[in-house]
């Protein structure tokens, strides 16, 4: 108990000097949540919108629809015809994008701060109504198919990552289908699907608006009111059933990748509940194993055994991370390895590392090191308005508490060596292991479906 | 940094504005933004130090650059510069590789070596309370690296695997081939090492390269963030770098950059479902007066989703997901290129369209709206890049490594705003000339070879693996 208190105290005193991100948070009468965070040092502002809808809410037979819809958000709205959104943001020196995730879809504009009103005008105009036509839909179906050809079908490891991995790691279709979608499902999407999806999921009560950077609160509030307050709310959508049946036996599959030249192994275990004590402890485990040049994988596997060439890992890998993870999900590791070792040996070496965590307490010096490493990493993530806005929006949407940007570090730093050991024992269980082995197989790729 | 007067003006405009949803709202012009003060000094041994104060976060960032980039690799030893850079942190006379990694993590820091065409460097950051330790580690790495034999062996082995993985991607093959064709005999043509050149690299060669080029008078250091008081910082710099001896730096024989000429190469990659296309040529470096007009012209043609290529090739024709132009400003002469990936069936009309759009740039002046779009775009991107320490560090180091003064950044936005349509048209006629462009296509020759015959006679080469 005493050591715990000391650990917590030293962790908190470390944090005392860290800068605080200011937050003003409120809700419009139509249910739209708003988070404002001023920082006037550089004349830059980010407007970030996050919607409570992602690929895991897609209907069977419509894989890829959330992402296809995201493309439709750039096809024009009532007063801003097709192309205008990009043109306005870019011609004013900003950049923008949208991205589709398992549990949410987000959009941002980062602009010189004198252009704040333009960004709000654009976002509110498309929340009021999209230009949903057969022609626009067809055009974007083609664009997404081309994106798939480029990013999935013509890239090494991509098919394994995007399609085979979720299909192996999950049993519920909501979790196991690919975010990019199949050609067949993409072709099947109709204009009616798009309208219905828009009405249900892109209503103000299903959204969070974040403004971060060179803003002033009174003017910012006035602008939000003028542009968004009179957009009507819609009935709240039903939460999807994403429940996974418990995994009772390890899964192992091997796939041949004609584009890969170096073998890879993906290893995963079902992750804990977001923001549970195990969640924070697993983050510290991830840092011990994979955080930087002094991590155990780097020192023992890349250097010591010289078996692994590159590794990456995350809770929610490959599309998510600790920040936006939501259960059910998987803690995944991707090990690109030396062909002189086979996949079984690599998995064995990872299991040895895990066994060590389950048996011995992480030494205090090592834990202190990764705490500092992590604190610095998170501090770096606060520098740009875009990164702060993204974090604030995700915390508001997923946790209902944007102040986690300031407070959650203390929760990570309070994790003890004992908790790390206990969480390792709980999470890394052989019968819940999933392995996908990617074997390079240089041969012509098979023909795509049209 | 912004003046109070400008802020108030912005506020007044916003408040006075009636909400008419049918039109984009009026907004004030981009406020003038001054870079934070840049302090530059040179130590007696010739080391240039560039300092910028930024107290927003308790962080410091730094980068040290040497004129020792990939172009200094001796022929046959391609990869020597990048391997020297990569191995600086793998052992010194004072610390093992493991100690370096652990000490860096303990200060919330990182130091990573890199090699570009012109420069070799090391960049990093840490929590500002550990600035002194970060400088101590930096000095140890650049001055005392020992290149332990087992680290050399491991790096050679893993680098070959990385290269195999990189060359499994059509994009890498296309970039590599494009550089090799346009730069001909100039060392810029050797973008990546080969397995054979990596095999030849020895520990002695690495030590030799380090001894030859890593000297204070061949380097600059940019340090920015929440810095210690000036006097303390000066003490730290003297303690870590003051007794580092000056050295005579050998000048490699100058190799001229070959003139641009039409060369057509098809790299056969059986099984590709799409074709990677590069169209371009050697152009200018950033000190050339043509640079800014070319940067804007290239932008009108292919930067962002308002550009001509995006609107035709992607939006109108639906041939490509991505199509864009690039200007890469190397110190001795940069390149201009168009990059895209299209599906096999449309490779010939796509190449034809790229050439048509290039020709068009020199045939008529760009419109006023295209010009203001690209000017505002480039200025805005620049201001936005200054939001983070890493962004400012990149800007400052980038211009310095190309031999330009830091005041280049002060004048950047003004120079962009000064370009007119006639200048763009003139540089387009000089540099965006399809007859002088090299075209590299990577794809399945059985699928696309015949169609490409319409464009001209392509030399067909085998894919590297």
pLDDT tens for each residue of chain A, 450 residues long: 333 444 444 444 556 568 899 999 999 999 999 999 999 988 999 999 999 999 999 999 999 999 999 999 999 999 999 888 988 888 888 889 999 999 999 999 999 999 999 999 999 999 999 989 999 999 899 989 988 888 888 888 999 999 999 999 999 999 999 999 998 999 999 999 999 999 999 999 999 999 999 999 999 999 999 999 999 999 999 999 999 999 999 999 999 999 898 899 999 999 999 999 999 999 999 999 999 899 999 999 999 999 999 999 999 999 899 999 999 999 999 999 999 999 999 999 999 999 999 999 999 999 999 999 999 999 999 999 999 999 999 999 999 999 999 999 999 999 999 999 999 999 999 999 999 999 999 765 444 444
**In Å, what is the CA distance from B284 to each residue of A203, B287, B329?**
50, 8, 7
Integer-rounded Cα Rg, in Å, for chain A is: 23
A312-325 per-residue burial string, b: 16 or more CB within 10 A, e: under 16: ebbbbbbbbebbbb
Would you say A4 and A178 are in contact if contact means Cβ atoms under 8 Å apart? no
Q: A261 and B465: CB-CB below 8 Å?
A: yes
pLDDT digits (tens, 9 = 90+) for B275-321: 999 999 999 999 999 999 999 999 999 998 889 999 999 989 999 98
ipTM for the complex shown: 0.84
**A262 in Cβ contact with B164 (< 8 Å):** yes
Which residues lie closer than 8 Å to A377 by C-beta, 6 or more apart?
A: B108
Strands (E), B35-194: 38-42, 48-53, 59-66, 110-115, 120-127
Asked if the peptide bond before residue A328 counts as cis, ω within 30 degrees of 0, the response is yes
Q: How far is CA B411 from each of CA A301, B162, B222, rounded to the nearest angstrom? A: 49, 40, 19
Do the Cβ atoms of B388 and A143 come within 8 Å? no
| Cα A297 to Cα A346: distance, rounded to the nearest angstrom | 11
Q: Do B273 and A146 touch (CB under 8 A)?
A: no
- Measured between beta carbons, which residues in chain B are less than 8 angstroms from residue A155? 169
Residues of A in contact with B383 (CB under 8 A): 42-44, 93, 112
CA distance B257 to chain A (A): 33
Query: What interhelical angle do B368-385 and B291-302 show, nearest 10?
Result: 100
Measured between CA atoms, the residue of chain B closest to residue A375 is B108
C-beta atoms of A383 and B389 within 8 A: yes
Of B7, B109, B381, nearest to A93 by CB-CB distance is B381
Q: Which among A262, A300, A311, A442 is the top mutation candidate for probing chain B, defined by the most B β-carbons within 10 Å of its own β-carbon?
A: A262
Secondary structure (3-state) at A12:
helix
For residue B117, give the nearest of B287, B385, B335, B437 by alpha carbon.
B335
Residue of B nearest to A381 (CA): B388
CB pair distance less than 8 Å for B24 and A121: yes
Using a CB–CB cutoff of 8 Å, tell me whether A261 touches chain B: yes
Nearest-angstrom CA–CA distance, A295 and B115 = 24
Query: What angle in degrees, to the nearest 10, is found between the helix axes of B291-302 and B347-363?
Result: 140
CB atoms B167 and A261 under 8 Å: yes
DSSP class of residue B13? H
Whether residue B176 contacts residue B125, with contact meaning beta carbons closer than 8 Å, is answered with no
Return the number of CB contacts < 8 Å for A and B.
242
DSSP A164: I
Other CB atoms within 10 A of residue A443 CB = 10
**Cα B236 to Cα B225: distance, rounded to the nearest angstrom:** 15
Distance of CA B219 to the CA centre of its chain: 18
Helix axes A217-228 and B4-16, enclosed angle (nearest 10): 30
* Residue B186 contacts residue B121 (beta carbons within 8 Å): no
CA dist list (Å): A352 to A271, A331, A347: 19, 17, 9
- Best of A16, A78, A114 to disrupt the B interface by mutation (most B CBs within 10 Å)? A114
Q: Residue B267: helix, strand or coil by DSSP?
A: strand
Q: Shortest CA distance to A268 belongs to which of A318, A322, A326, A223?
A: A318
In the sheet that holds B219-225, the strands lie side by side as B38-42, B48-53, B219-225, B59-66, B120-127, B110-115
Could you tell me the pTM of the whole model? 0.87
Query: Closest Cα of chain A to B254: distance in Å?
Result: 37
In B, minimum Cα distance to A382 occurs at B57
CA angle B317, B318, B321 (to 5 degrees): 135
């Amino acid at each position: 108990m005493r050591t715990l208190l000391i650990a917590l105290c030293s962790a908190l005193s470390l944090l005392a000097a860290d800068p605080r991100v200011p937050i003003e948070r409120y809700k419009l009468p139509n249910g739209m949540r708003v988070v404002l965070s001023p920082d006037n040092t550089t004349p830059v502002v980010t407007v970030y919108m996050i919607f409570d809808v992602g690929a895991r809410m897609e209907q069977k037979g419509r894989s890829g629809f959330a992402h296809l819809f995201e493309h439709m958000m750039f096809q024009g709205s009532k007063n801003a015809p097709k192309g205008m959104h990009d043109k306005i943001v870019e011609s004013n020196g900003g950049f923008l994008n949208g991205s589709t995730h398992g549990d949410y879809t987000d959009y941002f504009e980062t602009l010189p701060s004198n252009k704040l009103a333009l960004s709000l005008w654009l976002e509110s105009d498309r929340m009021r109504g999209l230009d949903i036509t057969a022609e626009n839909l067809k055009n974007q179906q083609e664009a997404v198919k081309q994106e798939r050809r480029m990013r999935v079908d013509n890239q090494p490891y991509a098919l394994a990552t995007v399609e085979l991995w979720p299909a192996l790691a999950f049993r519920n279709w909501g979790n196991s289908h690919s975010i990019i979608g199949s050609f067949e499902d993409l072709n099947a999407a109709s204009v009616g699907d798009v309208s219905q999806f828009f009405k249900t999921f892109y209503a103000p009560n299903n959204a969070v608006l974040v403004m971060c950077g060179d803003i002033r609160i009174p003017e910012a509030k006035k602008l939000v009111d003028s542009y968004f307050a009179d957009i009507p709310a819609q009935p709240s959508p039903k939460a999807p059933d994403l429940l996974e049946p418990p995994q009772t036996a390890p899964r192992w599959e091997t796939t041949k990748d004609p584009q890969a030249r170096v073998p890879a192994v993906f290893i995963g275990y079902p992750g804990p509940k977001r923001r549970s004590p195990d969640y924070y402890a697993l983050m510290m485990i991830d840092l011990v194993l994979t955080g930087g040049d002094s991590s155990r994988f780097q020192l023992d596997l890349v250097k010591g055994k010289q078996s692994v060439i590159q590794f990456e890992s995350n809770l929610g890998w490959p599309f998510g991370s600790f920040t936006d993870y939501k259960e059910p999900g998987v803690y995944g590791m991707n090990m690109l390895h030396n062909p002189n070792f086979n996949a079984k040996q690599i998995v064995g070496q990872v299991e040895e590392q895990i066994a060590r965590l389950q048996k011995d307490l992480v030494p205090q010096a090592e834990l202190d090191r990764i705490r500092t490493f992590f604190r610095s990493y998170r501090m770096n993530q606060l520098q740009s308005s875009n990164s702060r806005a993204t974090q604030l929006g995700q915390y508001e949407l997923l946790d209902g508490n944007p102040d986690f940007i300031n407070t959650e570090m203390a929760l990570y730093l309070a994790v003890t060596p004992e908790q790390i050991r206990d969480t390792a024992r709980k999470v890394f269980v052989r019968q819940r292991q999933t392995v996908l082995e990617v074997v390079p197989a240089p041969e012509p790729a098979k023909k795509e479906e049209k | 940094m912004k003046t109070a007067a400008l802020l108030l003006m912005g506020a007044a405009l916003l408040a006075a504005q009636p909400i008419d949803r049918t039109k984009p709202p009026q907004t004030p012009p981009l406020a003038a933004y001054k870079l934070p003060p840049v302090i530059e000094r040179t130590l007696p041994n010739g080391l240039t130090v560039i300092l910028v104060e930024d107290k927003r976060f308790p962080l410091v960032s730094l980068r040290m650059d040497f004129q020792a980039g990939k172009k200094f690799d001796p022929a046959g030893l391609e990869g020597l510069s990048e391997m020297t850079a990569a191995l600086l942190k793998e052992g010194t006379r004072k610390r093992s590789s493991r100690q370096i990694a652990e000490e860096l993590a303990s200060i919330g820091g990182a130091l990573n070596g890199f090699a570009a065409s012109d420069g070799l460097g090391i960049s990093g950051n840490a929590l500002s309370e550990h600035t002194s330790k970060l400088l101590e580690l930096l000095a140890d790495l650049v001055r005392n690296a020992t290149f332990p034999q087992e680290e050399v062996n491991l790096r050679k082995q893993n680098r070959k695997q990385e290269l195999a993985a990189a060359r499994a991607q059509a994009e890498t093959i296309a970039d590599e081939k494009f550089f090799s064709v346009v730069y001909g005999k100039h060392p810029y043509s050797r973008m990546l090492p080969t397995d054979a050149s990596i095999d030849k690299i020895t520990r002695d060669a690495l030590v030799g390269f380090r001894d030859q080029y890593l000297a204070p008078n061949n380097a600059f250091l940019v340090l920015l963030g929440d810095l210690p008081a000036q006097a303390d910082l000066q003490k730290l710099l003297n303690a870590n770098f003051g007794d580092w001896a000056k050295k005579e730096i050998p000048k490699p024989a100058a190799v001229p950059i070959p003139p641009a000429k039409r060369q057509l190469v098809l790299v056969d990659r059986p099984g590709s479902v799409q074709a990677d296309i590069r169209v371009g040529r050697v152009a200018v470096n950033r000190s050339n007066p043509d640079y800014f007009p070319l940067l804007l012209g290239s932008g009108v043609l292919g930067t962002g989703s308002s550009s001509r290529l995006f609107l035709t090739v992607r939006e109108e024709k639906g041939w490509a997901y991505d199509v864009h132009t690039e200007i890469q400003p190397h110190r001795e002469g940069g390149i201009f290129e168009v990059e895209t990936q299209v599906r096999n069936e449309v490779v010939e009309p796509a190449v034809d369209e790229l050439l048509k759009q290039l020709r068009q740039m020199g045939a008529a002046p760009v419109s006023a709206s295209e010009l203001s779009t690209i000017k505002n775009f480039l200025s805005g991107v620049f201001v936005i890049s200054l939001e983070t320490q890493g962004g400012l560090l990149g800007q400052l180091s980038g211009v310095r490594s190309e031999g330009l003064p830091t005041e280049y950044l002060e004048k950047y936005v003004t120079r962009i705003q000064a370009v007119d349509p006639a200048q763009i048209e003139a540089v387009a006629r000089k540099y965006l000339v399809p007859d002088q462009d090299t075209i590299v296509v990577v794809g399945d020759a059985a699928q696309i070879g015949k169609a490409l015959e319409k464009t001209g006679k392509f030399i067909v080469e085998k894919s590297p693996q």
